[in-house]
Structure 1
Amino acid sequence: MNYLPSFELTDQVVVVTGGGKGIGRAIAIGAAEAGADVAILARTSSDINETAGLVRDKGRKAYPIQTDITSKQEIEEAVSMVYKEAGKINILINNAGMNIRSKASDVTENEWNKIFQTNLQGAFFMSQACAAIMKENGGGKIINVSSVAGHVALRTGVVYAATKAGMIQMTKNLALEWAEDHISVNAIGPWYFRTPLTDQLLENKEYLQDILSRTPMNRVGEMKDLVGAAVFLSSEASDYMTGQTLFVDGGMTIYGF
């Protein structure tokens, strides 16, 4: 008997939202390296086409689809397009997200709506649309990219934190409801990783030192750390996991401050 499960995603079709750059691009490339074909969804055409080229460089098929996930109609059209072109959807990675760093007393209605629509509403309706296809095909996996900010209080903005906490709870509820359809739903909770969105912040030596002082491993995350978690949760190695949030944070949530 062999006990080591496969971490490969050979011939699986993975949908990655926010796949044009940063974490989403890294996950898309990592999924391709694991053997998957990848649909890349984001708003900027040039970004998704660049990611698609990098996926194809790995010998896999890529489906770049310009999509605004704050629109339920665009989500449904994009998912339908992936299904039509690829013939299946095995894995969804809800990575698209945004933040506006406002103090609670300064948050506007527009900021509130924009962050919720992108981070939480978009992830829900993407999950709903992909799950309908997964049910027809015997199951699948959904991975939500949340944040340590959904678990502990940080100075990253109350609205962002609320959406990421909501994503963790949504993960549990969807996992419970869809387990009978053989769809697992898990989440990843990152701390700081170097991306186009964080590079400017981390260039500030005082800010970086504050981050490192909260991180037992005393370093910022590298993309391979996060991609490894995403591939694990996408593969058969995580088949008996659902409703869980895997914190990839260098130990930051040990302290919880």
Structure 2
Amino acid sequence: MPDISPDDPIRLDGLVALVTGASGGIGDRAARLLAERGARVALADRDADVLAEAGFDAASSVHRLDLVADGAPDRVVSEVLARHGRLDVLINSAGVNARSAPAVTSREEWARVLEVNLSGTFRMIQAAYDALRASPAAAVVSLTSTAAAVAVPQNAAYSTSKAGLVHLTRVLASEWAADGIRLNTVAPTIVATAMTAAVREDPVYMAEKLASIPLGRMASVDDVAQAIAFLASPAAGMVTGQTLFVDGGVTTR
């Protein structure tokens, strides 16, 4: 385990972090914050061309990743190891959402959301296992949602996928503790990203949503990225199997 700096315990100097969904609002900010804190960052996304133009430094690398493509997680991990020689931190930010009333949710919608958010993330973690086991500071942080703990209308597939990811994280945290791998999740309330653009245009929805948040505002991408960076860092060296809610108090009610 790297020494914890008395000046900044959330440094990641010398570590390599792989961030999936790195072109998204949260993934992009998390990747930049990890780089600011000293990590070499491997950026993975379906839209690798966008990442190549995102302005990261020369120490970073870009990888094309479709979580549902056969063998894609294993390929990306191999690419990261070939480029950087190690993998210490995995940030699972890639995901999709779909809103529909449960009575009319299609088989295709249900399957797609579960396949990306839960099965795809599991395969990504599984692909990284051997590399993480070799690290003295291995950490996995997966992005979930308050929808994993609070019933959100017209969100059955998404909520179920995120709740499943929370419990998967607890199971793996228990099984892989002996390997020195910590696994945690970050669960924000609504964040101003492309994924929430449609609902943020609905004034009735937003009034109800903000009324449900005791702090009275949405989470920012930086709020979420700071939580991710903490859980990835040596400062959280005794934290595993936990969910950090970045929700302004939603889950206190």
TM-score range normalised by the length of the shorter chain: over 0.9
Question: SS where residue 188 of structure 1 aligns?
Answer: strand
The size of the alignment, in residue pairs, is 249
Aligned residue in 2 for 1:133:
131
**Alignment map for 1:103-252 (pairs within 5 Å):** 103-138=101-136, 140-252=138-250
Q: Secondary structure at the match of 1:143?
A: strand
Shift of 1:164: 0.4
Q: Distance in 1 between matches of 2:47 and 2:107?
A: 25
Contact 1:5/1:236 (<8 A) preserved: no
Could you say which residue in structure 1 is the equivalent of 2:21? 18
Alpha-carbon distance in structure 2 between the residues aligned to 1:20 and 1:151: 26
Partner of 2:43: 40
Note the residue ranges of structure 1 that are not aligned, 5 or more in a row: none
Following the alignment from structure 1 to structure 2, what is the Cα–Cα distance between the partners of residues 47 and 162? 30
Deviation, structure 1 residue 203: 3.0
Deviations 1:94-120 (A, max 9, x none): 111111112111122211211111101
On the 8 A contact 1:151/1:165 being kept in 2, the answer is: yes
- Cα 1:72–1:132, aligned 2, differ >3 Å: closer, same or farther? farther
| 8 Å CA contact 2:40, 2:59 repeated in 1 | yes
Moved more, 99-108 or 78-87: 99-108
Residues 149 and 156 in structure 1, CA contact (< 8 A), matched pair in contact too: no
1:9 aligns with 2:9: no
The residue type equivalent to 1:154 in the other structure is: V
Whole-angstrom CA distance in 2 between matches of 1:45 and 1:180: 35
Counterpart of 2:150 in 1: which secondary structure? coil
Using the aligned pairs only, state the percent identity: 33
Whether the aligned pair in 2 keeps the contact of 1:19 and 1:96 (CA below 8 Å) is yes
**Is the 1:175–1:184 contact (alpha carbons within 8 Å) kept by the matching residues of 2?**
yes
Match of 1:71 among 69, 72, 85: 69
Distance 2:50 2:161 in 1: 25
What is the Cα deviation at residue 5 of structure 1? Answer: 6.6
Alpha-carbon distance change, 175 to 4 in structure 1, aligned in 2, over 3 angstroms: farther
Asked whether the equivalents of residues 102 and 154 of structure 2 are also in contact (C-alpha less than 8 Å), the reply is no
The alignment's C-alpha RMSD in Å is 1.6
1:150 and 1:50 mapped to 2: Cα distance?
Answer: 34
Which piece of structure 1 moves more, 184-193 or 40-49?
40-49
Unaligned residue ranges in structure 2 (runs of 5+)? none
1:101 matched residue in structure 2:
99
CA distance in 2: counterparts of 1:177 and 1:115, whole angstroms: 26
Q: Secondary structure at the match of 1:65?
A: strand
CA displacement at 1:20 relative to structure 2 = 1.1
* Aligned-partner Cα distance in 2 for 1:86–1:49: 17
Per the TM alignment, residue 44 of structure 1 is displaced from its structure 2 partner at its CA by 1.1
